[in-house]
Amino acid sequence: MNDDKKFLLRKNNLIENNCKLSLKSKKRLQKSKADNTLRAYESDWLDFYDWCAHAKLQALPAEPETIVNYINDLADNAKANTVSRRLSAISENHKAASYLDNNPCRSGLVRNALDAIKREKGTMQRGKSPVLMEDLENMVAFFDTTDIAGIRDKALLLTGFMGAFRRSELVGIDIEDLTFTNEGVIILLTKSKGDQEGQGQYVAIPYSTSPTLCAVASLKYWLEFSQLKSGPLFRPLTKNKQLRNQRLTNQSVALIVKKYIGLAGLNAADFSGHSLRRGFATSAAQHDVDERSIMQQTRHKSEKMVRRYIEQGNMFKNNALNKMF
């Protein structure tokens, strides 16, 4: 591989060439970014490298003009947020190659080019539709609670909604992470997107006054029926409906959401695995739950995203037209 094609974030020169660092320190420092982030950055970097190779330009170090021309070509068919992420990947790889003071991504020319793209294309992200509480109520009728898949799916979706879990958090839960109490269940998240340092977070889900929507009861029934005692809580099944000794994947959560949302009569293409977490926040806002309480359950550290959910949930409740008629 050509030197300027190398994705150096996986083997950072600033770390590798530092003779004062021990081998143990180097190994830990190379894990400072999540694997998913590294994979995304690597894909972005290779796209930039291929563009440079086609244009017969140097990718590392790149000239600011090269980056400006690249992101303008990219902007023809990509969203402004995608352009920003690609630029982050290019910048991070330059830093890993020891280009700190002369990182071309920090030049005024590049910043101005990115601002122009954002202004022209806008930065609004169109997310998937939320699974609202009323949607859950409609979906409940389609869970076959005499079948192991239906029992699992009900526990999965109700837990995902009530705990406002990300897909990765939901499939990452182990049975050892559950603590049942008289009031409900406490779930320990050993690691999540919002807790990259792995300090751990606790999520409490109380018993519901609606038996059909009770995530705690559904979890207990799933554990009783499956006879699972340890390891991954939510697992795939074989064709013969036997439990596999592995976790469900993020994609599996999305497919299960789409399956039941479709059975409930809604367009499955409008929903994803994230619809459960988004649906909790939006539904909570519709039920006049305060911002602080919503953030406590969703574990958001910034009010910005939560306020977007609240605004969406209150679009009709606080609509001026309701006061006019």
DSSP type of residue 63: P
| Given 94, 274, 278, 299, the catalytic residue | 274
Helix axes 80-96, 64-74, angle to 10 degrees: 150
| Given 11, 28, 39, 193, the catalytic residue | 193
Q: Is residue 317 annotated as a catalytic residue, yes or no?
A: no
| Given 166, 167, 235, 258, the catalytic residue | 166
Q: Is residue 307 annotated as a catalytic residue, yes or no?
A: no
Cα gap 289→293, rounded to integer Å: 7
**Sign of the torsion angle spanned by Cα atoms 136, 137, 142, 148:** positive
Q: Is residue 278 annotated as a catalytic residue, yes or no?
A: no
Q: Is residue 221 annotated as a catalytic residue, yes or no?
A: no
Asked whether 275 and 132 are in contact (CB, 8 A), the reply is no
Q: Is residue 277 annotated as a catalytic residue, yes or no?
A: yes
DSSP type of residue 44: H
| Given 49, 99, 260, 309, the catalytic residue | 309
- Residue 223 identity (one-letter amino acid): L
CA distances to 50, 107, 108, 282 from 113, rounded to whole Å, are: 21, 10, 8, 36
DSSP 171-217: HT-BGGGEEE-SSEEEEEES-BTTBTT---EEEEEEPPSSGGG-HHH
Q: Is residue 111 annotated as a catalytic residue, yes or no?
A: no
Please name every residue paired with 179 in a beta bridge, in sequence order, or none if there are none. 186
Q: How far apart are the first and last CA of the chain?
A: 69
Give the other-Cβ count within 10 Å of 102's Cβ.
10
Cα gap 156→134, rounded to integer Å: 17
| Given 152, 247, 277, 299, the catalytic residue | 277
Cα gap 297→293, rounded to integer Å: 7
Residues annotated as catalytic are 166, 193, 274, 277, 300, 309
